[in-house]
Amino acid sequence: MSSVQNVVLFQDNPLQLMLGGEISPINVAYQTYGTLNADKNNIVLICHALTGDAQPYFSDKEKNGWWQNFMGDGLALDTSRYFFICSNVLGGCKGTTGPASVNPKTGKPYGSQFPNITVQDIVHVQKALLDHLGVTHLKAVIGGSFGGMQATQWGIEYPGFVDNIVNLCSSLFFSAEAIGFNHVMRQAVINDPNFNGGDYYDGAPPDQGLSIARMLGMLTYRTDLQLAKAFGRATKSEGDFWGDYFQVESYLTYQGKKFLERFDANSYLHLLRALDMYDPSLGYSDVKAALSRIKAHYTLISVTTDQLFKSIDLHKTKQLLEQSNVSLDFYEFPSVYGHDAFLVDYDGFDKWISEGLAGKN
């Protein structure tokens, strides 16, 4: 099926948030793919990245999902073998409750009143969705980037619930440099004259700030080799000297404007901060105590050319998992696509995703 489904959760008992506060009710947008087998032991949860949604794949091929080339009959995300579930994250803007959703207490969008959320909160909502659907066990959880953090947290929070974890291009902690990038992106949004402290839904949105933030983000997802090959120092035929003079500048401007069509600025801020704040030890005595809870087999895949989740950070993650006695397979390879390789470099990930989902015999 290709249409998003919706369910309302936490109506009677609000979700208690890790950083304090609560939220109720929570609408969750989700999608399923493939066929559930008789034993109900082929269920795989897909956790999307920062600006993703509940639709990684469209079976009718009229549109492209964000994992369109990875998913389908006989592919790495094999719809003839597994039953996939993917939901939009808490705090998002693709159907699940987020800052743009109506606050039932005021009848207006949450805006600045939307509470601070964590990866742990996102995972708790995903678990509530699975409980609602009657899912009692997962063959695997898979995610890339921000989704990889969610996949890791699943192993910590629900160690007997998951057989396999597949983490693509994501570490246990976001680096200082990466947090710095996110800070600049947030400031671009917050300092837009239209931001209004997050309460902009009755007027013009902070489009300029959000588009600038997206432009910076795009540079962290790409590689210098990729940009050099695509654009080099080529200029536009009628370039604006102080604007889009070089082709690469025009590309970034296009990406910034395109992003405005599909994402909310407040959601971007909240999810960026959840990314920064991710700490698997939250709620536990230390990192080892948290990671030692993981019983699932863990597949970690690093892209050596990733400029956001760098190879050194993935190696630190590998070391911490090994020290915590987690059953681990670690792979790495270079890709011209950098961080975004997990979305587009099928040949690089195919074998390891397939093996990671299947797990150890």
DSSP state of 113: G
Q: Are 17 and 117 in contact (CB under 8 A)?
A: yes
Lookup: tokens for 265:
């600025």
Q: Token pair for residue 104?
A: 């039932």
- 235 DSSP assignment: B
Name the catalytic one among 145, 170, 267, 324. 145
Q: Is 214 annotated as a binding residue?
A: yes
CA atoms of 50 and 112, how far apart (whole Å): 20
Give the β-pairing of 162-168 and 297-303: parallel
Active site residue 145: yes
Active-site entry in 306, 324, 335, 345: 306
**Which is nearest to 276 in space by CA: 58, 117, 137?**
117
Exposed, middle or buried, 239 (CB in 10 Å: 0-12/13-18/19+)? middle
* Per annotation, catalytic residue among 250, 264, 339, 345: 339
E strand or H helix that includes residue 260:
helix 247-260
Give the burial class of 104: count Cβ atoms within 10 A of its Cβ; 0-12 exposed, 13-18 middle, 19 or more buried: exposed
Q: Is 293 within any annotated ligand binding site?
A: no
Catalytic sites, residue numbers: 145, 306, 339
Q: Enumerate the known binding-site residues for substrate.
A: 214, 340
Binding region: 214, 340
